[in-house]
Chains A and B, each alone.
Chain A
Amino acid sequence: MVSESMTEKQIIVTLDVMLAKRKMRSKELSQRIGISVQNVSLLKSGKVKGIRFQTLAKICEVLDCQPGDIITFE
């Protein structure tokens, strides 16, 4: 049986926080990782079903961070 606290937890995308830390705009990130600005916006808002390892790796490389800095489980 799944506890109540388990069901409430979810993946939170903190890409906007990381972008602010690196003082980088979504447009620049989208250009450097090769995806559209719309998709970066969707990713930032968490309105996506998933993220490919390939995209995650590119973001981590550009922002010089770890996957855990972009997505958290809270």
Chain B
Amino acid sequence: MKTQKSTLGFWISPITKLLGIALLLINSFYWSIPEMAEYVASAYSGISPSHYTLTTVTRFLGWLITTLQISVLTYGLFTVANIFRDFSKGIWFASSFSNQLKRFGISLLVFSLLSPIVQVLTGLALTYTNTPKTERMIVLSFNIDGKGATIFLIGILLILMGKVITEATRLADENSQII
């Protein structure tokens, strides 16, 4: 199906990709500066800065773990970029659209589910160099905050929407072959 409104998709697609890359760069930037790394480390691990000492190794581990989680979101944003790219080409009601929507939903779901794992791993990475070994910490907390729950629910919603659109495109394809 073709549409003339391609300008929107033409511009949003690269902007979305840039946003995805920017997320990774911002994360790297935060971890590269000790003062900012301390703030990010506390936010991710839920451990007070007094319980660990940030070294190059702990910062690298923290960056690596958080980058893994953010990569999932970047992947999701790249999927959204592909949706807009297709939209600019006039392809918007096709099976590829529903698949991309499902992939974005899954990436949001995985991103939100990774949060507690990232918290535990970041906590471990930050306190890994602590001496004595008894001061190494595993922080486990299962709190349902509004932001995390919203991302989780939106992820589920997008997956369901993707399934509905898959069925709708199948019906539309079938109808287009009936004269």
Contact = CB atoms under 8 A, between A and B. Distances in A.
A50 B175 CA distance: 9
A35 B179 CA distance: 8
Interface residues of A, number: 10
B170 to A, nearest CB: 12
Given A48-B178, A51-B178, A52-B178, 15 more contacts: A35-B179, A39-B179, A42-B179, A43-B179, A48-B177, A48-B179, A49-B174, A49-B177, A49-B178, A50-B177, A50-B178, A50-B179, A51-B179, A52-B179, A55-B179
Interface string B97-127: 0000000000000000000000000000000
B98 to A, nearest CB: 21
Interface residues of B, number: 4
Contacts of B177: 48-50
Interface of A: 35, 39, 42-43, 48-52, 55
A51 B175 CA distance: 10
18 contacts: A35-B179, A39-B179, A42-B179, A43-B179, A48-B177, A48-B178, A48-B179, A49-B174, A49-B177, A49-B178, A50-B177, A50-B178, A50-B179, A51-B178, A51-B179, A52-B178, A52-B179, A55-B179
Nearest to A39: B179
A36 B179 CA distance: 10
Contacts of B179: 35, 39, 42-43, 48, 50-52, 55
A52 B176 CA distance: 11
Nearest to A50: B178
A51 B178 CA distance: 5
Contacts of A50: 177-179
Nearest to B178: A50
A14 B93 CA distance: 34
Contacts of A51: 178-179
Contacts of A55: 179
Nearest to B174: A49
Contacts of A48: 177-179
B46 to A, nearest CB: 58
A48 B177 CA distance: 5
Contacts of B174: 49
A55 B174 CA distance: 17
